[in-house]
Each structure stands twice: as C-alpha cells, then as structure tokens.
Structure 1
Amino acid sequence: MKRLILFIFSVFILNFSFAQLSKDQFSKLELALGERSFFNGHLTGFMLYDLDSQMVLYEKNSQLRFIPASTTKLFTLFSSIAILGDSTQTARYVSSGDTLRIWGSGDPTWGYLDFENEALTKLILAHETVIFSDSNMDSPAFGYGWQWDDYYYDYSAERSPLPLRGNLLNVRKVNGRPQVFPARFQKDINITNRTIRELERDFHSNTFSYNPNNFRGREEYIPLIMSPELFVSLAAEETNRNWFYSPDSLPESHTLLRGEPLFPILKEMMLESDNFLAEQLMLMVSDRLFERLDTERAIEYMLKTYLFDLPDIPNWVDGSGLSRHNLFTPRSMIALFEKLYRMVPDEQLFEILPTGGVSGTLETSYQAQEPYIFAKTGTMSNNHSLVGLIKTKSGKTFAFAFMNTNYPYKASVVRREMEKVMVMIRDML
C-alpha cells in the first residue's frame, strides 16, 4: 500500500511539474498579457492548456464571458459530430406512386457550392409530383440577436428546411451591369441614384437596386427572402417536376433520407467560417433528435447532456455566432475543445481547422515556415477570438483560447498583437 501511494504521489508530482511554467516563462506571459501590455487597453481572456497532463499552464480572465463570434462554430462542430455521425439529415418523406410528399431536414447541400446531393436529386426525379411541407420548421429564418442590417450580405442567408442554392441570388457583372441567377429576378432590378456600390436587395422584398455609375460587382451573392411559395417555384424550375406547397404535418409513418457525407460540410464550415452551413447543421441536429427543426431546443439538449460539465454555462443561441447574445468563457472554450480533441482523430481535426499561413481564415496570418497555429477564428465589430491548437518548438501541442472584446480599433491591430504572444509561446515551450 505504501509503494502504491508513493507511486501515485510521484505520478502526480511529475504531471504537476510537467504542466508548470518556469518563473521566466510565466514572467514573459505576464509581461505580454498583463497591466503594461497592449491587451490592458481592452478586455482580454486567455487560457493555455496542456492536453497531455490535462492541466492549465496559464490563464487570464478565463472565467469572464466574451462574445465568441464564429468560434461558436466549434460548438456546432461538436454537436454535429456527436449527433449526426457521418452523414446529413436530408429529408423525411412519404412516397405514393408518382407523388412525393417531403419535409426538409435542414440539409444545406442542394445546389450549394460544389456539393452534390445525388440522393435527394434521385429521390425527386423518381416522382412526377412533389408536395412540400415546412410544418416541421420551428426556428425562424433569422437567428436570435442577428443584426438587421446584415440582411443583404451572403453571410446572413435565411435558414430553411430544404434550402436550394444556399437561399442566395448569384450576381455577376456583365458589361457594367448586374446579371443575376435565377434569371427570373432580372426584371426586379432597378436603377437608383443612391451612392451604393453593389446590387442591394430591398429590406422587405426580392427587388433590387444598383447605381450604374458606382456598380463594382464584387458581392457575388445576395440572400433571398425564401417564402414556401417561392421555394416550390424555384424547385420546379430546378427539377422539371410539379411542385406544390401544402403545410401538412409529418406523419408517424415516413422514411428518413440521409444524404451527403458530413465531413466535407464540416470542413467547409470551419475553414471558410460558413454561417449558412453552421445554421443548417444545427437544424439537422434538431431533426435527428426531435424530428423538428428547432435550433434553440437542440442547443438546450446539448447543454444538458454532452456539455453539462462545462466550467461555465454558455449563453449559446445560434449555430454560426452571428448573434451578440452568445457569451462563452475562455475556460469553457478549452473544455469544449478538449472534448473535440478526444473525439476527432488527429488527422481529421488538423484538416478541418484553419492553419496559420496555409488555409481557411488563417491563410494570411500566423505565417511561418513550419505551421504552428491550427484554430478557429471569430471576428465581429470590437470582438476577436482565436481558439484551437498551438505546436511549439519542442514538439508539444497545447490548446488555447484567446478572446478579446471592447477594443476601439480594427481587428487586424489586435490580431498582430495576438500573433506576437503566440510566437513567443511557440518559441519558449
């Protein structure tokens, strides 16, 4: 018994000392993040965590809540992997002869980006008539706390049960004028004298305006207002089938269609910080759990089950992080990330995380001959965060959460100062 106690004690001491910074290392971090540093000019939260010993190396304000912006997608990533497994929830349906009755399950891949939803297309084309219902959709088109003036930007597309082409209008500049697809909206474009530089949608309708003298054509996509009636009309054009809208309830006896592989969707969401994919993923999680599309309910379930043991209960309201009502602490971000680290194979995890100087939202920052930052970014006016992994010169990998809020300058200024801290950590550990 004495030998066992001595052994356990020695292991504890080894782990404890392994997870400690030297006095010099601690002083360097205190100087970089403390009262005399750049980060004392606004609120900053930071935690550095040893994944091997499962101990904290350093923290500052890790118990305070910050607006996470797109680092919220780490919670969506975890939920998707935990609940959806390896493929999407595409639709629930009842087939009777040449008629298909269909309820969307939130799958975002139909005609969006380079995704191909062959299973859905095959199902639809096997019927002459399609009756669409959205009665299973409980969440509104926009998330709680989304900013109203984002309505004409592609990163704020509407949520829906069965999206087509991302619920977006494609815009191209042809001979100095906007040309749009679907082409049916070309007639709804008007000329304006307002000093706008892009094609802009009216707040309440799918009508559009541009100024020929200022038109740049750099915004490639504009969100559409997707009523059920518009959806069935566009779906009929897309499939050459007869589509009708009837908000019938989902019957108990129906078939579930699981369509696309999940990993490519998760990878696109993480690398490009795709808000639309994130929101639709949470709808699919809800469909899998409850046969209803209710993001709020899905979030509540995840927090009460898989995430009940987070150090601080998050204020988590959407899948993308567009809402300013989201509030997470750095230490809860670390706890969540550790769950991902244990759940996802290393090869896949490093593939879906943006890599400094290499891929995704970190392609032009944290550049180095040997990549050392693998993390999800989150940026919103006056808020910038980075959560993920850092590989140090010694070959070790640590998790970190670096969150900033209430700064009065551009995010690029904060990012440069954060990079100095991360380079220092890379070199000294």
Structure 2
Amino acid sequence: MRKTSFLAFLSLLLFSSSFAQLTKEQYIKLESALGESSFFNGHLTGFMLYDLDSQTVLYEKNSHQRFIPASTTKLFTLFSSLIILGDSTQTLRYVRDGKTIRIWGSGDPSWKYKKFDQPRIAQLIEPYDQVIFSDANMMSPAFGYGWQWDDYYFNYSAERTSLPIYGNLVQVRKVGNAPTVFPPSFQPAVFRTQRTIRELERDFHSNKFYYNPSNFRAREEFIPFIYTPELFIQLASDATGKKWIYQADSLPQNHEILRGAPLFPILKEMMLESDNFLAEQLMLMVSDRLFQRLDTERAIEFMLKTYLFDLPDPPQWVDGSGLSRHDLMTPRTMVALFEKIYRMMPDQQLFELLPTGGKTGTLENGYKAEQPYIFAKTGTMSNNHSLIGLIRTKSGKIYCFAFMNSNYPYKASEVRSEMEKVMKMIRDMI
C-alpha cells in the first residue's frame, strides 16, 4: 500500500510539474516572438508568464530588469487600499465645540467629483454656526516627486489636497466661441488672449484662464485649479450654503470620524479609467488611516516594510498614480504583487476592477476578441508602455503576466500592436 501510495504521489508530482511547463515548441515560439530577431529587440523589454495554480514561472525575459511602470503603479495603490481602507472612504476628522465644528480632511476624493456617492458633509455641519477648516494634517506637496512640470494644465495632473472638491478641477464648456466654466466662481477669471492657443489654458502661477476666440475648441473638458486655503473655503461655502473659516490648527488626539462613500466604485474608476487623481487621494487616505496625517511617502514606506517586504526586487515606488519617472519596478515584482491581489480578492470583483480587452476601460479599443482574453492594467508614458494582469488561454486556464517596455523610439500604438500579437499567440498555444 505504501509503495502504491508513493507511486501515485510521484505520478501526481510529475504530472503537476509537466503541466506547469512549456513544451519545447512553445518555448521556441516565445523566444522567436521576444528574442533577438524580434521587434522587441530594438528597445528594453521585460516579460514574465506565471502559472497561478502551480506557482511556477513558465517563461521570462529580463524579468529582473527595472522599468518605468507608469500607471501600472496603480496596482500598488489598489493593494494598499484593499489592505488598509476596508470597504469605505474616510472623509473627515472633526471636533465639536458648542456651536462650532472643526474639520480636517482625510483625503476622500469623492466630494462633487464624478458620480460617486456623496459624503454627508452638509448634513454634518448643518447644526453648527461656525465651520473651521484646517489642512495642517496635509504633509505631502500638491504634486508628486518626479511629475512633469508642464502637465499642470492637464486634467490627469490635478493637485493633491486633504479635502478635494470637484476633483480639484474646473469644468469647461463651449458656448458660442467662448468658454463657460464651472464652478461659476471661476468665470470672472476667464480672459481673452491673442496667443495662438486652441484650448482654455490656465496661467502657470495663478487661477487665471485664457482663450483665443478665433481658435477655441474646448476639447479639454477639465483643467486643474491651484489650491489655496482661501479658494477652498470659498468653494466649500458655496457648495454647502454655510460660511467656512480657515484656521491651520493641529488635529487633536481626541476627535470623531466621518466615514464617506463605498470604496469599491472609487477603486473601479481608478483602475478602469486610470484616474491619477483618485490614485493619489487613495494613498493619502491610506496614510490618514495609518498615521492620522496625509503623507504619501510615509504610507509607501510602511507598505513596503510590512505587507510588501517579500517582493522579489525592492521597488522604487514614489507616488500613487505612476506619473513619476522615479517609479521603477521589475516584471517579476509586478507579477508577485498581482498574485497577492489575486489571492485576496474574489474572482468576480477582481475581473470587475480590471480593464478588459475590447470591452472596458483603457483596453476597450485593444485586444479585441469574441471571447475576452486579456484582463489587465495598462501603463503608458512617453517611451514607456506596460501591461500587467491576467490572460485566459484557449484551454480556459488563466495565467498572470507582466509585459513591460521602455526606451522605444516609436509610437506607443506600434508597441501595443506588437504586444497584442504575442498575447494572441500565448492565448492560442497554451
């Protein structure tokens, strides 16, 4: 009986081992698609294909090399949010003192932004005669380390703040040949110019906006505004119908907490649309939950030393969104991170969060097929493009992969097209 059991165990072991390996022909095909004679030999490419069932690497190329991950950095933000934040945002910390309420923001991005459930701020402050707001708990600067300075007038580079409103963006609509902006309090700051610009553009140093009536197109629907405490209390007063006062007081140890909107819709929007603002605010909320202060750098340091200490290659992780060129990760670290997320989430929820080839999010126009086979986070920055996630093969099995490209001298669309050829080949042959 012992001999029979041992032989059965040995057969199972051998079967599992062979099941988790590529055949010689499959390996040669991947080498041809990614090797020296391929399109990908013209720049730095890293790739890893990983069997989640057997926890075995099927194929890798330069998986130890570091790449600029761009928006795939949001997978780190997703993991941190799932671990630390639970099921809902944390909007405010506050202290009640007679007819006065004192408020400190916790980083919640949902107030007047997109179609998220709204935090109950107006209801909270309604009984009070005086609302005092402080941002003294905000330690991180408005922009992340290594962000490009000339992104300041694009909607993907909104400022980080302790209590955002309207996503820290001005909305632009074209009426005739002139812009109408919202919130309307910004309208007096809109001016004509003779400069040959086609959009409404904000001044670099102030909340003044300029357009040329002859060329105005209004294709940029949202423009970041510069945060100041004075501007915020004006916007908050207008939004709530109650006067706010700014006073930079420290957060006392004894205070109350206002929980806000469900977290999952915010995570879903961040992942599907690659919303940088949401990603940055999520990391501020993580810091707030951990330390009662908004400090992205400290939150990242904590996550790396605790929940992510065992990643294969220590990542250089500096922001929540991936806007920074100082972010550096290896393909095998991205696979290890994704596996952590995969193990902690129900499949249905995970697939709902991931852009799906030909169907949703940033993959809506790529990797099209009658049966979707790519479920992954994209990341694109000039000369860098990555894709991290899951592939479902013709056998019905799901594998994890990381496909990272840097320093290519051509359009990202060309890289994506060649990547799609490789992923189709993997889908069809495994």
Q: TM-score, normalised by structure 1?
A: 0.98
Structure 2 CA distance, aligned partners of 1:222 and 1:233?
18
1:8 Cα deviation from its structure 2 partner: 5.5
Structure 2 CA distance, aligned partners of 1:121 and 1:371?
44
* Letter of the structure 2 residue corresponding to residue 311 of structure 1: P
1:10 Cα deviation from its structure 2 partner: 4.2
Q: 1:11 to 1:233 in 2, by over 3 A?
A: same
Aligned length: 429
* Letter of the structure 2 residue corresponding to residue 114 of structure 1: K
1:91-118 CA-partner distances (Å, limit 9, x unpaired)? 1001223321000000000000011324
Match of 1:406 in 2: 407
| 1:312 aligned counterpart, secondary structure | coil
1:390-423 CA-partner distances (Å, limit 9, x unpaired)? 0001000000000000001110000000000000
1:129 Cα deviation from its structure 2 partner: 1.8
Match of 2:105 in 1: 104
Structure 2 CA distance, aligned partners of 1:159 and 1:362?
27
Structure 2 CA distance, aligned partners of 1:7 and 1:175?
79
Match of 1:288 in 2: 289
Structure 2 CA distance, aligned partners of 1:160 and 1:42?
38
Structure 1 CA distance, aligned partners of 2:343 and 2:378?
21
| 2:49 aligned counterpart, secondary structure | strand
1:229-259 CA-partner distances (Å, limit 9, x unpaired)? 1101110011011100001011111011111
| 1:301 aligned counterpart, secondary structure | helix
| 1:374 aligned counterpart, secondary structure | strand
- TM alignment of 1:115-194, pairs within 5 A: 115-194=116-195
Match of 1:297 in 2: 298
| 1:299 aligned counterpart, secondary structure | helix
Match of 1:224 in 2: 225
User: Are 2:272 and 2:354, in contact at CA under 8 Å, matched by a contact in 1?
Assistant: yes
Is it true that 1:55 corresponds to 2:56 in the alignment?
yes
1:46-95 CA-partner distances (Å, limit 9, x unpaired)? 00000000000100000000000000000000000000011111110012
- TM alignment of 1:197-346, pairs within 5 A: 197-346=198-347
Match of 2:357 in 1: 356
Match of 2:14 in 1: 13
1:248-289 CA-partner distances (Å, limit 9, x unpaired)? 011111011111110000000000000000000000000000
Match of 1:76 in 2: 77
1:342-376 CA-partner distances (Å, limit 9, x unpaired)? 00100000001000000000000000000000000
Deviates most, 182-191 or 255-264: 182-191
1:3 Cα deviation from its structure 2 partner: 7.1
Structure 1 CA distance, aligned partners of 2:170 and 2:66?
37
Structure 1 CA distance, aligned partners of 2:420 and 2:123?
49
| 1:88 aligned counterpart, secondary structure | strand
| 2:131 aligned counterpart, secondary structure | strand
| 1:394 aligned counterpart, secondary structure | coil
1:128 Cα deviation from its structure 2 partner: 3.0
Match of 1:420 in 2: 421
1:303 Cα deviation from its structure 2 partner: 0.4
Structure 2 CA distance, aligned partners of 1:260 and 1:375?
26
Structure 1 CA distance, aligned partners of 2:110 and 2:122?
11
Structure 1 CA distance, aligned partners of 2:72 and 2:127?
41
1:127 Cα deviation from its structure 2 partner: 2.5
* Letter of the structure 1 residue corresponding to residue 224 of structure 2: P
1:125 Cα deviation from its structure 2 partner: 2.7
Q: 1:312 to 1:2 in 2, by over 3 A?
A: farther
Structure 2 CA distance, aligned partners of 1:139 and 1:171?
28
Which structure 1 residue ranges, 5 or more long, are not aligned?
none
| 1:90 aligned counterpart, secondary structure | strand
1:23 Cα deviation from its structure 2 partner: 0.7
* Letter of the structure 2 residue corresponding to residue 79 of structure 1: S
Match of 1:369 in 2: 370
User: Are 2:117 and 2:262, in contact at CA under 8 Å, matched by a contact in 1?
Assistant: no
* Letter of the structure 2 residue corresponding to residue 220 of structure 1: E
User: Are 1:189 and 1:207, in contact at CA under 8 Å, matched by a contact in 2?
Assistant: yes
Q: 1:8 to 1:228 in 2, by over 3 A?
A: farther
Match of 1:35 in 2: 36
User: Are 2:110 and 2:119, in contact at CA under 8 Å, matched by a contact in 1?
Assistant: no
Structure 2 CA distance, aligned partners of 1:337 and 1:349?
11
Which structure 2 residue ranges, 5 or more long, are not aligned?
none
Match of 2:25 in 1: 24
User: Are 2:105 and 2:163, in contact at CA under 8 Å, matched by a contact in 1?
Assistant: yes
User: Are 1:120 and 1:259, in contact at CA under 8 Å, matched by a contact in 2?
Assistant: no
Q: 1:123 to 1:428 in 2, by over 3 A?
A: same
1:181 Cα deviation from its structure 2 partner: 1.1
* Letter of the structure 1 residue corresponding to residue 286 of structure 2: V
* Letter of the structure 1 residue corresponding to residue 294 of structure 2: L
| 2:89 aligned counterpart, secondary structure | coil
1:121 Cα deviation from its structure 2 partner: 3.1
Deviates most, 190-199 or 319-328: 190-199
1:16 Cα deviation from its structure 2 partner: 1.8
Structure 2 CA distance, aligned partners of 1:322 and 1:8?
50
1:176 Cα deviation from its structure 2 partner: 1.2
Is it true that 1:381 corresponds to 2:382 in the alignment?
yes
| 2:191 aligned counterpart, secondary structure | strand
| 2:366 aligned counterpart, secondary structure | coil
1:147-192 CA-partner distances (Å, limit 9, x unpaired)? 0000000000000000001011111000111111122221212222
| 1:378 aligned counterpart, secondary structure | strand
Q: 1:414 to 1:99 in 2, by over 3 A?
A: same
Structure 2 CA distance, aligned partners of 1:382 and 1:398?
27
1:13 Cα deviation from its structure 2 partner: 2.5
Structure 1 CA distance, aligned partners of 2:133 and 2:101?
8
1:190-215 CA-partner distances (Å, limit 9, x unpaired)? 22222111000000000011111111
User: Are 1:355 and 1:374, in contact at CA under 8 Å, matched by a contact in 2?
Assistant: yes
Structure 2 CA distance, aligned partners of 1:92 and 1:396?
46
| 1:325 aligned counterpart, secondary structure | coil
